Amino acid sequence: MNVRIRRLIMMAFIGAVAMLALVYGFWPKAVLVETAKASRGPFRVTIDEEGKTKVKDRFTVSAPVTGFMRRIELKAGDVVKKGDALFILEPLRSPVLDARSRAEAQAAVASAQAAVKAAIERERSAKVDADFTDDRRIRFKRLLDGGAIAKEQYDQTEAQAKQAQAVYLAAKATTDAVRSDLKRAESVVAYSADRIGIDHQETVVVRSPKSGCVLRIYRESEGAVAMGEPVVDMGDTKDMEVRVELLSADAVRIKPGTAVSFGHWGGKDTLTGKVKTIEPAGFTKMSSLGVEEQRVLVIVDMETPAQGRPNLGDGYRIEASFIVSEGQDILQIPVSALFRAGEKWAVFAAEGNRARRRIIDVGRRNGLNAEILSGIAEGAVVIAQPDDAIRDGERIRIRKTGPSY
């Protein structure tokens, strides 16, 4: 009898435990949530985009003439003053003569030498004729003065003397010309690239148009350059601007004079600037996701002095934040706490261990926080990231409560 009673008691106990376990298993549990407090503090709405620094007065110094450039001794980053030599151009080097070209050049020299000799002989013959006719003119002059000959006869002799003198002068000029031809022929042989050095040549010194530093050297080694070929980029890195390509929908929200802060440029301090120009024409650019976007170039003047941005050079990446609006004592909560309730915004407020839905009026928003105009008070605790499991009146268990900013 005692054994039967004990068995009944044991079975009743096991049934009660199973019932309790079944009830506990189906009993609704509190939802684990993270919360944030509605608090007051500084609030800023910005448009963030990557930009690129640029020296305002950037000079690309090119070769003014075609020539042979000597090796540039300057290095990128070297400081130069206005008027300092940047690079030196020499005349182009003469070509090297192959065996055939050299033989032809030497034959041209021999031909020019023979022409010079012939011209000298013609000049000598013309000189003899000129001297003879001039002596004859002098004799006829004496006879004319003595009345021995007629005036017409003397005039004829004088004309012959002048004609002979002209022939002599022409022969002399021809001799000078063929001597020049000889020098030209000799220069082909004498001034080939394998026989002449670089000393005593005329050079062109290209100087810096402004004080600053060397930004880029397109070509450092010596060699031939064409007229207009870029050689050196230079400018003053103390005078910088930032070029930012904004979406056209964002560009219409800013204006010249809008304050800009720069971060993630490599230094620990935040840099400042102001919008200088918003270009009126946009352009199409492909995004990293392959989507066509309409962009607008915005130019921002850097206001932070050079000593406040050491080592920031031309063409460096920098993150620009255009300050659209800001305030110092704004009630705000995380944007992630908001959800739609019809046409209005709502949040779940944590009141005790229950979630209560509250309709609110939202003002400005940025990427992290939203301004609260009405609906909840300062210090109210809201669920930071509500999900579909939360309903109005749902039991909740708070994991962590943090500030809204």
Whether 128 and 165 map to the same domain: the answer is yes
How far is residue 102 CA from its own chain's centroid?
49
**How confident is the prediction along the chain (405 residues), in pLDDT tens digits per residue?**
566 777 777 777 777 766 766 655 555 667 788 889 999 999 989 899 999 999 988 899 999 999 999 999 999 889 999 999 999 998 887 777 777 877 877 788 888 888 888 888 888 888 888 888 888 888 888 888 887 788 888 888 888 888 988 988 998 898 888 888 888 888 777 776 655 554 556 889 999 988 889 999 998 899 899 999 999 999 888 889 999 999 999 999 999 999 999 998 988 889 999 999 999 999 999 888 888 999 999 999 999 998 888 888 889 999 999 999 888 889 999 998 999 888 899 999 988 888 899 999 999 888 789 999 998 999 899 988 888 878 888 888 887 666 554
Whether 63 and 118 map to the same domain: the answer is no
Question: CATH number of the domain that 317 lies in?
Answer: 2.40.30.170
Quote the CA–CA distance of 261 and 43 in Å, as a whole number.
15
Q: What is the pLDDT of residue 25?
A: 56
Whether 257 maps to a domain, the answer reads: yes
C-beta of residue 238 within 8 angstroms of C-beta of residue 258? no
Whether 350 and 211 map to the same domain: the answer is no
Quote the CA–CA distance of 227 and 86 in Å, as a whole number.
16
Quote the CA–CA distance of 251 and 274 in Å, as a whole number.
14
Which pairing describes strands 396-403 and 354-365: parallel, antiparallel, or unpaired?
unpaired
Question: CATH number of the domain that 205 lies in?
Answer: 2.40.50.100
Q: What is the pLDDT of residue 192?
A: 67
Whether 81 and 228 map to the same domain: the answer is yes
Whether 2 maps to a domain, the answer reads: no
Q: Give residue 186's region: left, alpha or beta (phi > 0; psi -120 to 50).
A: alpha
Residue span of the structural domain in which 367 resides: 28-43+329-403
Q: What is the pLDDT of residue 372?
A: 92
Phi first, then psi, for residue 359 (nearest 5°) are -80, 130
Quote the CA–CA distance of 217 and 86 in Å, as a whole number.
10
Whether 339 and 306 map to the same domain: the answer is no
Count structural domains, the chain.
4
Whether 7 maps to a domain, the answer reads: no
Whether 172 and 246 map to the same domain: the answer is no
Whether 241 and 231 map to the same domain: the answer is no
Whether 177 and 213 map to the same domain: the answer is no
Whether 315 maps to a domain, the answer reads: yes
Quote the CA–CA distance of 264 and 271 in Å, as a whole number.
10
Whether 115 and 143 map to the same domain: the answer is yes
Whether 129 maps to a domain, the answer reads: yes
- Using only the alpha carbons of the chain, give its radius of gyration: 49
Show the tokens assigned to 136.
């004859």
C-beta of residue 359 within 8 angstroms of C-beta of residue 340? no
Whether 225 and 294 map to the same domain: the answer is no
Whether 75 and 210 map to the same domain: the answer is yes
Quote the CA–CA distance of 134 and 167 in Å, as a whole number.
13
Quote the CA–CA distance of 344 and 392 in Å, as a whole number.
16
C-beta of residue 300 within 8 angstroms of C-beta of residue 257? no
Show the tokens assigned to 329.
């004592």
Whether 15 maps to a domain, the answer reads: no
Which pairing describes strands 39-55 and 85-90: parallel, antiparallel, or unpaired?
unpaired
Whether 241 and 258 map to the same domain: the answer is yes
Percentages of the chain per state (helix, strand, coil), in multiples of 5? 30, 40, 30
Please say which residue of 326, 352, 380 terminates a domain.
326
Q: Is 52 helix (H, G, I), strand (E, B) or coil?
A: strand
